[in-house]
């Protein structure tokens, strides 16, 4: 959102539990947050679910926003939700591990959206999760390197190095430069 | 494309020499251009409507639950007060009064007062039970709302994240 005053007004409305303000917040941030979830999960259904969870979490937590960068606050929550999702997936995987072979035999493997999606999605999946998430946080969260390093609790040099290496690698994978 | 005005060359210059910093900044910009060239799909309009409806419902349910909680707390506090008063009166009975032929330490006024307090608490609890305060506006069932809140606490509790 470009207009800081308008954003402040929306946030104040949300903190008063105003329905209309939340509706404006959803309209203002849904595309960027969806892009963030989609590029990390590569799956439209998962992104739908995570986006919904994000805004429900905002309803609970908006009162705890005390000013500063709203994007940084919002994408910290989005990042937590994404990692919760990964942990849940991991637990589920472990739970069905015993039956995995049997299921594989019964059902032909389903292709993930990412396999059918665009070239960028395919190449992104070749980056390690941590780097891919940093790049998505920077791009969709429009966060500065300082905000990114604060969000990750790591030195700014580390963040710069990870993003630089990740984007350079992505460019190589996309064929934009000699590897 | 991030719109924050990071001075990339200057930032990177803190860690690299000038030529390396310029190259690294160019790598970052070109990498981010690729992300712009491949926009992610957008959320479905129907999904956004669903989210807005859910948010709206959640705001309504939370308000109802808050109102219920307020009255329940009042009733519980009143009941607790009565129990404490009754306990105090039982544990520390009033000095024996010399009613001829009566060993009863409670006088009629004290019993009547206690009875009135108990009646008032019972009335309040019945009023809450029968929803006389009018906070059951929606179709929400109190148990359901409370359960939802407990679920929310359970699923969203991120204390372990530090």
DSSP structure string for A5-74:
HHHHHHHHHHHTT-HHHHHHHHHHHHHHHHHHHHHHH--HHHHHHHHHHHHHHHHHHGGG--SS-HHHHH
CA-CA distance, B128 to A177, in Å (whole number)?
A: 71
Distance from CA of A100 to the nearest CA of B (A): 27
Between the ranges A158-162, B104-108, B113-117, where is the mean pLDDT highest? Answer: A158-162
**Residue predicted with more confidence, B45 or B109:** B45
The CA-CA-CA angle for residues A13, A18, A23, to 5°, reads 90
Q: CB B31 to CB A22 under 8 A?
A: no
**Quick one: pLDDT at residue B148?**
62
CA-CA distance, B141 to A64, in Å (whole number)?
A: 28
Average pLDDT over residues B41-49: 94
**Quick one: pLDDT at residue B94?**
61
Q: Mean pLDDT over all residues of chain B?
A: 76
CA-CA distance, B84 to B91, in Å (whole number)?
A: 10
Using an 8 Å CB-CB cutoff, list chain A residues near B6: 144-146
Residue B133, pLDDT > 70, answer: no
Rg (CA), chain B: 33
Average pLDDT over residues B119-145: 64
Does residue A38 sit at the B interface (CB-CB below 8 Å)? yes
Average pLDDT over residues B14-40: 92
CA-CA distance, A56 to B59, in Å (whole number)?
A: 10
48-67 of A, contacting B, C-beta below 8 A: 48, 51-52, 55-57, 59-60
Q: How confident is the model at residue B31 (pLDDT cuts 50, 70, 90)?
A: very high
Q: CB A55 to CB B54 under 8 A?
A: yes
Q: Which of A57, A118, A60 is nearest to A83 (CA)?
A: A57
CA-CA distance, A38 to A133, in Å (whole number)?
A: 11
- For residues B68 and A36, the answer to whether their CB atoms sit within 8 Å is no
Where would I find the H helices in chain B?
8-13, 18-37, 45-91, 108-129, 142-156
- For residues B149 and B133, the answer to whether their CB atoms sit within 8 Å is no
| Chain B residue with minimum CA distance to A40 | B40
Count contacts between A and B (CB, < 8 Å): 124
90-129 of A, contacting B, C-beta below 8 A: 118-121
Residue B140, pLDDT > 60, answer: no
Cα separations in angstroms, A59 against A37, A62, B69, B138, B148: 19, 6, 19, 19, 14
Please name the residue that has the structure tokens 């940084």. Answer: A72
**Quick one: pLDDT at residue A179?**
43
Using an 8 Å CB-CB cutoff, list chain A residues near B54: 52, 55-56
Q: Which of B77, B106, B109 is nearest to B92 (CA)?
A: B106
Cα separations in angstroms, A175 against A103, A170, B25, B34: 37, 9, 19, 11
Residue A11, pLDDT > 70, answer: yes
Distance from CA of A101 to the nearest CA of B (A): 30
| Chain B residue with minimum CA distance to A155 | B15
CA-CA distance, A5 to A169, in Å (whole number)?
A: 38
Average pLDDT over residues B103-128: 75
**Quick one: pLDDT at residue A157?**
93
CA-CA distance, B97 to B156, in Å (whole number)?
A: 61
| Chain B residue with minimum CA distance to A61 | B156
Q: How many CB atoms lie within 10 A of CB A5?
A: 7
Does residue A7 sit at the B interface (CB-CB below 8 Å)? no
Minimal Cβ distance to A163: which of B28, B55, B152: B28
E-assigned strands of B82-124? none
Q: Mean pLDDT over all residues of chain A?
A: 87
**Quick one: pLDDT at residue B139?**
46
Per residue in A44-54, is it b (16+ CB within 10 Å) or e — as a string?
Answer: bebbbbbbbbb
Does residue A156 sit at the B interface (CB-CB below 8 Å)? yes
**Quick one: pLDDT at residue A63?**
93
Q: Which of B6, B127, B151, B145 is nearest to B62 (CA)?
A: B145
Residue B15, pLDDT > 80, answer: yes
The pTM of this model reads 0.65
Residue A30, pLDDT > 80, answer: yes
Does residue A39 sit at the B interface (CB-CB below 8 Å)? yes
**Quick one: pLDDT at residue B54?**
94
Sign of CA dihedral A166, A172, A178, B2: negative
**Quick one: pLDDT at residue B162?**
46
Please name the residue that has the structure tokens 């409507």. Answer: B49
| Chain B residue with minimum CA distance to A27 | B48
């Amino acid at each position: 959102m470009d207009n800081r005053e308008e954003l402040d007004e929306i946030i104040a409305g949300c903190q008063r539990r105003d329905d209309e303000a939340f509706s404006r917040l959803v309209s203002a941030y849904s595309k960027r947050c969806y892009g963030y979830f989609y590029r990390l999960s590569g799956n439209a259904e998962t992104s739908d679910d995570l986006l919904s969870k994000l805004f429900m979490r905002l309803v609970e937590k908006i009162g705890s926003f005390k000013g500063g960068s709203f994007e940084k606050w919002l994408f910290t929550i989005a990042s937590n939700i994404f990692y919760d999702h990964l942990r849940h997936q991991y637990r589920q995987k472990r739970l069905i591990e015993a039956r995995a072979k049997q299921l594989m035999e019964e059902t032909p493997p389903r292709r993930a959206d990412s396999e059918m999606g665009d070239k960028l999605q395919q190449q992104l999946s070749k980056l390690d999760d941590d780097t891919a998430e940093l790049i998505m946080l920077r791009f969709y969260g429009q966060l500065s390197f300082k905000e990114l390093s604060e969000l990750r609790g790591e030195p700014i040099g580390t963040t710069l190095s990870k993003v630089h290496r990740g984007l350079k690698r992505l460019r190589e994978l996309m064929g934009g430069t000699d590897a | 494309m991030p719109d924050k005005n990071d001075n990339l060359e200057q930032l990177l210059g803190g860690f690299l020499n000038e030529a390396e910093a310029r190259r690294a900044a160019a790598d970052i910009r070109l990498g981010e251009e690729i992300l712009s060239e491949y926009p992610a799909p957008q959320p479905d309009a129907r999904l956004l409507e669903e989210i807005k409806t859910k948010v709206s419902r959640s705001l309504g349910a939370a308000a109802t639950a808050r109102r219920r909680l307020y009255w329940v707390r009042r009733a519980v506090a009143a009941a607790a007060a009565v129990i404490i008063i009754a306990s105090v009166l039982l544990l520390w009975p009033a000095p024996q009064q010399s009613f001829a032929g009566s060993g009863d330490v409670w006088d009629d006024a004290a019993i009547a007062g206690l009875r009135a307090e108990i009646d008032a608490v019972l009335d309040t609890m019945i009023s809450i039970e029968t929803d006389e305060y009018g906070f059951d506006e929606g179709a929400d069932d109190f148990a359901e709302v409370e359960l939802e809140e407990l679920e929310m606490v359970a699923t969203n509790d991120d204390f372990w994240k530090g």
